[in-house]
Structure 1
């Protein structure tokens, strides 16, 4: 079976430059074929087929040229392909997996022209059409419920029976047999564990340490890790990334080339977006916690904070919704995160709103996540189950950014309902914070009472000192009078 070579793409105003890593080849065996928007390259053991959005050309007057350098990566071939129309900007050259996908034309429903508005006998009424549409929707919902009850998991519910193949590895990352437990039971188990695992004392401790109003009672100051997490500026908030369109690095593009481009039948993108929200939140929490330098704990952090990866949660429709996913994300952050701070949760959601609107921000995060899991002895399976599927899908998804607007709308729309949102976590966060507030108020009142007692004691001491001084003055006056009388008697 031919090997897909590693490659990168760039462009000038007139040419597309394709750089291929081909160690130890015979250049004479290489062949390049241009057919409109399609490019095919073949060499012994290697085959590459790319599909562009714009036309290329190969003519005797302006032919394809190639240069081979055996000293770079044991062999690098750079092919220069003329553009059919000079100055055309070829888009998404860094999304290599997308270029490897064949261009499948979209199928549109034929437009219907109304030629007569009169009601014709034998035609369906609006009520009949409506009932037909409702029955179709009901049928789709039944299929959806059936899928949710089955033991499928992973990206686009594309996996099942993996426990039989990878029993030992999966035992270490899931306490639930995924091949025996359906989605509803998994969710019930997860929610029960989150509630029981919530450490109220730990949450109150972090709340006390990291809340500015408590600093007078906290001589050691806030947790340094929390402070650095809140002040860290990730790449997607860097002003240079905001002013210029982020492009994936050649290393990132090479990573995308290595990902298997497995065909997927996707009926709805909304569940995928909900799952993506869970993945991104957990990654961005760890990104802030580690200041952009993942450590040995990062794989566990990212996995543990995501209900999708840790419990193979599957969000399947608008009934789960953005709000439900955000609740799960924040709940797991205050249950299992290192810094169990609601303020940090809010910061990460703000990051999420920025990232999910931009395809390349999302891809950059997913690529970094893939690298984190790749270095893990057991959690590398997350790449197989989720990351690789998402990396392929995000590149090929035509409409991007609308879901990001929905995430922002839901988060901003909480407004006065924000307290109810926190209450929906079922952990009693507000009550826990109020207990800390009350205890600090009691301490402050005790301090005030002690200060008043000290002031009273000082006043009493001052009064006693004044009385003693007056008594001493009176005694001195009496002694002086007695001495004067004795002197007068002596003179007599």
Structure 2
């Protein structure tokens, strides 16, 4: 069966689903409504949506078929008039199945306007879209979190509390890696990446500790003192990139300004001007609500992004190590931010390499236990691999990452969809989409909002020093300044001698 393209909107009384399905027989269209679940079927299309609140059949439900446009428009009455259905733009989340008893069915009439009641015909069949890994420990409100950390959600979460993964070699049947350690046996599929992208070898016999050791060793070997000093001294282009204002900065500013206008007494939501005239987005300001997020143009999903979401698999996850998943997200988003800032929002043919190489998750299959450890690894890779290697640029990318987390799961989903598309289209590294990015795109739609905002706050507060990189950056900067001063003095002496000779 094919999943049709569709869009969803709502008003106070109805949820409206517009389904693109040209060249069908209207008489064969079947619908199904049961509490929060809506099903649509007409050969060869099948669509199942699970809404965050209840819809009902009370005689107001309508369906019509526009033959010219090949679209079916279905109006589904809300059980509670005026209730706001959140996350209707997160279509992969809506496409997840829901177990429950069958309800009545209805069919679009041949005239394409009225709805007729039918007996439920199809519920005994096996669902055409299955939920993988469904578990009763998942939160019932749709905000999913790892069972290991769900008890801490209501409290401030400490992202720098160290955590060790217990080693049980007797239970291991092979190296596990990828999202949620769900994959193994991909060694032959990634061999071609070991020279250009991956910093690890023999992936199927590796362990988390050996992967981390290999990453650090490769970074130490790649770090170039002279390259770093050259970028420190000749930084005109880098300083221009540091001053660049990404679209998502502007999106957060507009959202916070709108909130401040709506609630003039709430100064916490207003951006604060810094001495340089830039906007400092206060970590105390709440993230955007679903309504304000949808109203922001940058956070509205394009047709291409909606199509990418429709192509995602329907999965739910019981996370083995929720902390590592969230911190891996920080790592990937940081790499995206570096690419976005250094290309000024216009990705190039080198962007897949840049993102994959700067992400320890993608290039080393590394996992982290603290936020500080995650950011140090990101900075080290920024100073070792890409075109522009500058510590201040790294700190700016951390600010970008904090803003994306403050914008919430829609912004993060847009980032992951773009990264997945960039890397998935690259013949060298498409396997990384399978191992990491596709799962991240599915999972983020159910990620816990409080955990994301907690990370946003920590990213705003955290401070990484140059010494923590493990390299003598301050000494190298001092040497670079001294050499530059000597060269300037020699140039001045040479100019003076030349003027004396000419006179």
TM-score range (shorter-chain normalised) is 0.7 to 0.9
- 1:233 paired to 2:269: no
- 1:394 paired to 2:391: no
How far does residue 58 in structure 1 lie from its aligned partner after superposition? 1.6
C-alpha change, 1:333 and 1:157, in structure 2 (3 Å) is same
How does 1:462-477 map onto structure 2 within 5 Å? Answer: none
C-alpha change, 1:343 and 1:148, in structure 2 (3 Å) is farther
Whole-angstrom distance in 1 between the partners of 2:248 and 2:168: 36
C-alpha change, 1:180 and 1:373, in structure 2 (3 Å) is same
C-alpha change, 1:8 and 1:192, in structure 2 (3 Å) is same
- 1:66 paired to 2:63: yes
Is contact 1:370–1:387 with CA below 8 Å preserved after alignment?
A: yes
- 1:158 paired to 2:179: no
Query: Deviation per CA, 1:166-220, whole angstroms, max 9, x where unpaired?
Result: 655777643512112222212212111111111111111111011xxxxxxxxxx
- 1:293 paired to 2:380: no
Is contact 1:187–1:313 with CA below 8 Å preserved after alignment?
A: yes
- 1:372 paired to 2:430: no
Whole-angstrom distance in 1 between the partners of 2:138 and 2:301: 34
How far does residue 13 in structure 1 lie from its aligned partner after superposition? 2.1
Partner of 1:84: 79
C-alpha change, 1:441 and 1:284, in structure 2 (3 Å) is same
**Other structure's SS at 2:76 match:** strand
Is contact 2:337–2:400 with CA below 8 Å preserved after alignment?
A: yes
How does 1:350-365 map onto structure 2 within 5 Å? Answer: 350-357=399-406, 358-365=408-415
How far does residue 366 in structure 1 lie from its aligned partner after superposition? 0.9
C-alpha change, 1:48 and 1:144, in structure 2 (3 Å) is farther
More helix by share: 1
How far does residue 452 in structure 1 lie from its aligned partner after superposition? 10
User: Is the radius of gyration larger for structure 1 or structure 2?
Assistant: 1
Is contact 2:33–2:55 with CA below 8 Å preserved after alignment?
A: yes
Task: Normalising by structure 2, report the TM-score.
Answer: 0.72
C-alpha change, 1:404 and 1:205, in structure 2 (3 Å) is farther
**Other structure's SS at 2:367 match:** coil
Query: Deviation per CA, 1:401-434, whole angstroms, max 9, x where unpaired?
Result: 43443454366343xxx5xx32221222111101
How far does residue 143 in structure 1 lie from its aligned partner after superposition? 5.5
Partner of 1:253: 306
Partner of 1:266: 319
Partner of 1:24: 23
Structure with the bigger RCO (C-alpha within 8 Å, sep 6+) is 2
Whole-angstrom distance in 2 between the partners of 1:406 and 1:144: 30
C-alpha change, 1:143 and 1:43, in structure 2 (3 Å) is farther
- 1:182 paired to 2:196: no
**Other structure's SS at 1:41 match:** strand
How does 1:284-433 map onto structure 2 within 5 Å? Answer: 284-315=337-368, 320-357=369-406, 358-397=408-447, 399-406=448-455, 408-409=457-458, 412-414=461-463, 418=464, 421-433=465-477
Is contact 1:8–1:250 with CA below 8 Å preserved after alignment?
A: no
C-alpha change, 1:3 and 1:301, in structure 2 (3 Å) is same
Whole-angstrom distance in 2 between the partners of 1:442 and 1:170: 42
**Alignment size in residue pairs:** 400
Partner of 1:130: none
C-alpha change, 1:406 and 1:370, in structure 2 (3 Å) is closer
Q: Which runs of no fewer than 5 residues in structure 1 stay unpaired? A: 109-139, 211-221, 462-492
C-alpha change, 1:7 and 1:330, in structure 2 (3 Å) is same
Partner of 2:218: 193
How does 1:48-67 map onto structure 2 within 5 Å? Answer: 48-60=47-59, 62=60, 64-67=61-64
How far does residue 265 in structure 1 lie from its aligned partner after superposition? 2.5
Whole-angstrom distance in 2 between the partners of 1:291 and 1:6: 32
Q: Which runs of no fewer than 5 residues in structure 2 stay unpaired? A: 99-134, 140-163, 259-291
Is contact 2:96–2:315 with CA below 8 Å preserved after alignment?
A: no
- 1:42 paired to 2:38: no
Partner of 2:156: none
How far does residue 393 in structure 1 lie from its aligned partner after superposition? 1.0
Is contact 1:163–1:170 with CA below 8 Å preserved after alignment?
A: no
Segment drifting more, 440-449 vs 175-184: 440-449
C-alpha change, 1:249 and 1:271, in structure 2 (3 Å) is same
How far does residue 267 in structure 1 lie from its aligned partner after superposition? 3.3
